[in-house]
Amino acid sequence: MVSGLQVPRRGLGLGAAALLAMGAAPVPAPVAIPRSLYWDLPVGEGGWRVQVGWPETEPPPSGFPVLYLLDGNAHFGTAVEAIRLQARRGDVTGVRPGVIVALGYPTDDAATIMRRRQRDYTPPAAGAPPGSGGADAFLDALAGQVMPRLAAAFPVDAARQAIFGHSYGGLCVLHALFTRPGLFARHVAASPSIWWHDTAVLHSARRFIDHPPPGTAGRGVLITVGGLEQPPPGPVAPGEDAHTGRLRMARMVDRARDLAQRLAEMGENGPQVEFVTFAGETHGSVVPAAISRAMRFVFPAEMGR
């Protein structure tokens, strides 16, 4: 037993209790994901924690495709297992191996993470709330510091890099698409917070649609949303709770669908667009489904897709 650590017998599972009875007390140790590492990057206030997971297979001649994952503290493990499970049977799933790069923070404090992601993932906008609007600085650091370091350490395909974000992260993905479409080949905006600051991101969307920047055509955009992220249409029920009222005002499903439709209408001058609604999923529960679906979009076995 580790010195100074008391392992309580009450509440242990039967297996652990049996081990204790045999004198083989479990020794606490961090859980490690095979073929993964992390480094801390001195960026902004408090720095970033960059986690990387890579396949066990040999890289193709052009290198592995890459998915940059926002909210890395929460989503790294889910994404790594999703790509490994799907790529294992690529002949069935249509998914090939790739590298996951999760961008997070070197802390477990939820309040700190929430404050930092609100700043890093929201775009600059006139009159935006204090502590927001840092998406350009975030994307600059990603492109200028993380991407070069990854390319120096791993065989990656610079032409097949993608970005995934959920909620505020999805908002950041849209901002990246509208302002620097050449940075990523594929963009996955899961439950994007289009409602933020009176739908400020839609101003960028209109400019993007009316005057597509160079590098827009042929880029890929997947927008997803949970079916329960917006109450059904109809009159407001008497005594509706505040949370349901906020969902109604945010119009998560309608706004995600409308934006996907407008982008699709750009035709050959615009990106290739997919839109998916996950029935029965809330804003939180939809994340694993969105990550799973993103793997087929970001890592397709067909090289030309």
Q: Which residue has the higher pLDDT, 238 or 196?
A: 196
CA distance 28 to 87: 32
pLDDT in tens, 52-78: 999 999 999 999 999 999 999 999 999
List, edge to edge, every strand of the sheet that includes 48-53: 36-41, 48-53, 99-104, 64-69, 156-166, 186-190, 220-226, 272-278
pLDDT in tens, 291-305: 999 999 999 987 443
Q: Is 168 left (phi over 0), alpha (psi -120 to 50) or beta?
A: alpha
Q: What is the DSSP string of 150-219?
A: HHHHS-EEEEEEEEEEETHHHHHHHHHHHH-TTS-SEEEEES--TTHHHHTHHHHHHHHHHSPPTT-TT-
- Residue 38: band (very low, low, confident or very high) from pLDDT cuts 50, 70, 90: very high
Domain boundaries in the chain? 1-30, 35-298
Question: What CATH class has 35-298?
Answer: alpha beta
Active site residue 167: yes
Active site residue 56: no
For residue 247, the model assigns a pLDDT of 85
For residue 22, the model assigns a pLDDT of 57
Q: What is the pTM of this model?
A: 0.89
* Catalytic, out of 75, 132, 166, 167: 167
For residue 20, the model assigns a pLDDT of 53
* Catalytic, out of 166, 229, 281, 292: 229
Active site residue 240: no
For residue 151, the model assigns a pLDDT of 96
pLDDT in tens, 242-268: 888 788 888 999 999 999 999 999 999
Least confident of 12-26, 118-132, 282-296: 12-26
Computed over every residue of the chain, the mean pLDDT equals 90
For residue 44, the model assigns a pLDDT of 82
